[in-house]
Amino acid sequence: MYIIYISLHRIADAWKFMNWADLVIPIGGDGTFLLSSKLITDNVKPVLGINPSIRSNDNNIFTLPPKYATNIESIFERLHTGKYTLLMRSRIRTVMNGEGLYRRPFHIHEKSRTQGEKRAEALARTTQRKIADSLQPRQRTLPWLALNEVFIGEFLAVRPITLQIRVEDQEPHQIRSSGMCVCTGTGSQFWYKSINIQSAETVRCIVEIATGIKLSNEETNELLHKYHQALIYSPEDLNMVYMIREMYHTTRCKNQKCCPDRQKCNKLTVKSCGFDAGLVIDGSISLPFNDGTIATFDIKPEYSLKSIMLT
Confidence band, pLDDT 50/70/90 cuts, at residue 95: very high
Taking residues 15-33, what's their average pLDDT?
Answer: 88
The number of CA neighbours under 13 Å toward the Cβ of 219 is 9
Of 249-253, 276-280, 294-298, the poorest mean pLDDT is in 249-253
CA dihedral sign of residues 6, 12, 16, 18: positive
Taking residues 206-216, what's their average pLDDT?
Answer: 94
- The pLDDT assigned to 111 comes to 52
What would the pLDDT profile of 222-241 be if each residue is shown by its tens digit? 999 999 999 999 999 999 99
Does residue 251 surpass a pLDDT of 50? no
Q: Kindly report the backbone phi and psi dihedral angles of residue 273, in degrees, each rounded to the nearest multiple of 5, phi listed first.
A: -120, 30
pTM value is 0.87
What would the pLDDT profile of 111-146 be if each residue is shown by its tens digit? 555 554 455 555 555 666 666 766 778 899 999 999
Taking residues 48-60, what's their average pLDDT?
Answer: 78
Q: How many CB atoms lie within 10 A of CB 70?
A: 9
- Residue 50's identity, in one-letter code, is I
- The pLDDT assigned to 126 comes to 60
Integer Cα distance of 81 and 11 in angstroms: 30
State the burial class of residue 117 (Cβ atoms within 10 Å of its Cβ: 0-12, 13-18, 19+): exposed
pLDDT > 70: percent of the chain: 85
Would you kindly state where each structural domain of the chain is located, as residue ranges? Answer: 9-81, 91-184+232-298, 194-231
Confidence band, pLDDT 50/70/90 cuts, at residue 282: very high
What is Dmax (Cα atoms) for the chain? Answer: 69
Q: Which fold has domain 91-184+232-298?
A: Tumour Suppressor Smad4 (2.60.200)
Q: Kindly report the backbone phi and psi dihedral angles of residue 310, in degrees, each rounded to the nearest multiple of 5, phi listed first.
A: -75, 145
C-beta pairs of 11-19 under 8 Å, 24+ apart in sequence: 11/35, 11/36, 11/39, 14/39, 15/39, 18/45
- Listed residue (151, 178, 98, 156) closest to 276, CA to CA: 156
Question: Is 299 within 8 Å of 239 (Cβ atoms)?
Answer: yes
Of 34-48, 106-120, 181-195, 242-256, the poorest mean pLDDT is in 106-120
Of 14-28, 33-47, 182-196, the poorest mean pLDDT is in 14-28
Q: How many CB atoms lie within 10 A of CB 148?
A: 27
Residues 6+ apart with CB under 8 A from 70: 54
- Listed residue (15, 49, 95, 138) closest to 303, CA to CA: 95
Tell me how far CA of residue 112 lies from CA of 47, 119, 122, 241, in angstroms: 29, 12, 14, 29
Strands (E), 32-178: 46-47, 84-89, 93-97, 106-107, 139-141, 149-154, 161-167, 173-177
Taking residues 276-299, what's their average pLDDT?
Answer: 94
Integer Cα distance of 274 and 293 in angstroms: 9
Give the strand pairing for 267-272 and 294-298.
antiparallel
